[in-house]
A and B are shown apart, each in its own frame.
Chain A
């Protein structure tokens, strides 16, 4: 008798569960539209690699990130020039240029507006020996390019100890197809 009551109890419970399930399906409307409301304020900004890290003083890094690109040159170019000359004193010499033919003022004038220039008409690379600042590809050795432009002088031969970090490629091969980045470690 006890067993029968037990079985009956389970059956009742099962019936109740089923009923409430189907009742839920009929009555609860699930809102599937996500909420996209609100205002979002700028916290980080990046165009070219390593710009904020190398050229902006530590007290100004947050300010640089929260300045729109069209106002960055006016606000930060002189700081960039001071920091570039401190890193690579040859730039202080009159007429000193890098291999792009840019002196301290024009080089930092280019970099202070932190946007990445991208060509829609062909090769996209930070620098490949021929094309300059037409994009940034995954395999581009952007740090060595920047070190060469900072330390390498007019023909990339100055300060060889400083103008190449000798890490020339990623630690995993990239994919030829979307999403291009290698799977995580």
Chain B
């Protein structure tokens, strides 16, 4: 019986490592299962047409029963990087970090230094929103033309990741039709910021990416 349990345990670990890595969910060993694991990043034109909405999702694959206890980490800075000049170096950042029951935002602001290490740019426009609790209606805030949200949401990512794992492992030759959404019924912790285009370059193409940075 013990041997069966061990084998079952090992196969769950193996299947797990195939299953649960997609988009950017659990993409690398150092961030897997931590508050720094970015699962997805989106940037799209907002409802008004004059703004861009940025979505940074973290801590993926939360079951409904685990979502109430999931929390943002006061030692993890989430940073949206914006390159307006086409050199893939950030010209502007929007930073988000929780303190107590609020998520604080700074920027968009030209960072005091680009690259791997950041300080919180407290001279930038400061905004904040109460973090929405699990089961509560979405709490949003506005400041300086921007809108803010932080809290648990349905994971918007969809993919038959289990079958992809079977294909990569050599156990299947193709996808099923219909496929099965591996991420159905799971939640993430989301940060959503909507910013007027006039504050991030106004026209043309920008290059954007999200970073999670840990306090040293």
Is A44 within 8 A of B205, CB to CB? Answer: no
Is B170 an interface position by the 8 A CB rule? no
Q: Which of A62, A166, A180 contacts B178 (CB 8 A)?
A: A166
* Also in contact, A65 and B208, with CB within 8 A (given A165-B159, A170-B156, A182-B154): no
* Also in contact, A118 and B43, with CB within 8 A (given A40-B216, A69-B209, A165-B164): yes
* Also in contact, A115 and B83, with CB within 8 A (given A44-B27, A178-B149, A180-B53): yes
Q: Which of A49, A176, A180 contacts B23 (CB 8 A)?
A: A49
Q: Which chain A residues numbered 96 to 148 have a C-beta less than 8 Å away from chain B?
A: 113-125, 134-138, 141-143
Q: Which chain A residues numbered 25 to 76 have a C-beta less than 8 Å away from chain B?
A: 34-47, 49-53, 61-62, 64-66, 68-70
Cα–Cα distance between A70 and B83 once the two chains are bound (Å): 11
Is A183 within 8 A of B99, CB to CB? Answer: no
Cα–Cα distance between A138 and B155 once the two chains are bound (Å): 10
Q: Which chain A residues numbered 6 to 38 have a C-beta less than 8 Å away from chain B?
A: 34-38
Is A167 within 8 A of B187, CB to CB? Answer: no
Inter-chain CB contacts under 8 Å: number: 270
Residues of B within 8 A of A (CB): 21-25, 27-31, 34, 36-38, 40-47, 52-53, 55, 62, 64, 67, 76-77, 81, 83, 87-89, 97, 99-100, 104, 114-120, 122, 134, 138, 140, 147, 149, 152-154, 156-160, 163-164, 167, 173-181, 183-187, 190, 192, 194, 197, 200-216
Q: Tell me the minimal C-beta distance from B205 to chain A in angstroms.
A: 6
Is B192 within 8 A of A179, CB to CB? Answer: yes
Q: Tell me the minimal C-beta distance from A153 to chain B in angstroms.
A: 15
Cα–Cα distance between A135 and B54 once the two chains are bound (Å): 10
Q: Tell me the minimal C-beta distance from A89 to chain B in angstroms.
A: 14
Is B156 within 8 A of A42, CB to CB? Answer: no
Q: Tell me the minimal C-beta distance from A169 to chain B in angstroms.
A: 6
Instruction: Report the count of interface residues on A (CB-CB < 8 A).
Output: 71
Q: Which of A38, A135, A180 contacts B119 (CB 8 A)?
A: A38
Question: Can you sample 15 A-B contacts with CB below 8 Å?
Answer: A38-B119, A40-B77, A46-B24, A49-B41, A50-B22, A68-B89, A69-B81, A118-B206, A120-B204, A142-B23, A170-B157, A171-B184, A178-B53, A183-B154, A185-B67
Cα–Cα distance between A180 and B138 once the two chains are bound (Å): 10
The 6 closest A-B pairs by CB, nearest first: A161-B174, A61-B28, A40-B213, A34-B99, A179-B149, A166-B179
4 further interface pairs, Cβ-Cβ under 8 Å (given A44-B31, A177-B47):
A53-B27, A117-B207, A184-B154, A185-B154
* Also in contact, A118 and B184, with CB within 8 A (given A53-B23, A123-B45, A166-B175): no
Q: Tell me the minimal C-beta distance from A9 to chain B in angstroms.
A: 38
* Also in contact, A178 and B116, with CB within 8 A (given A46-B210, A136-B44): no
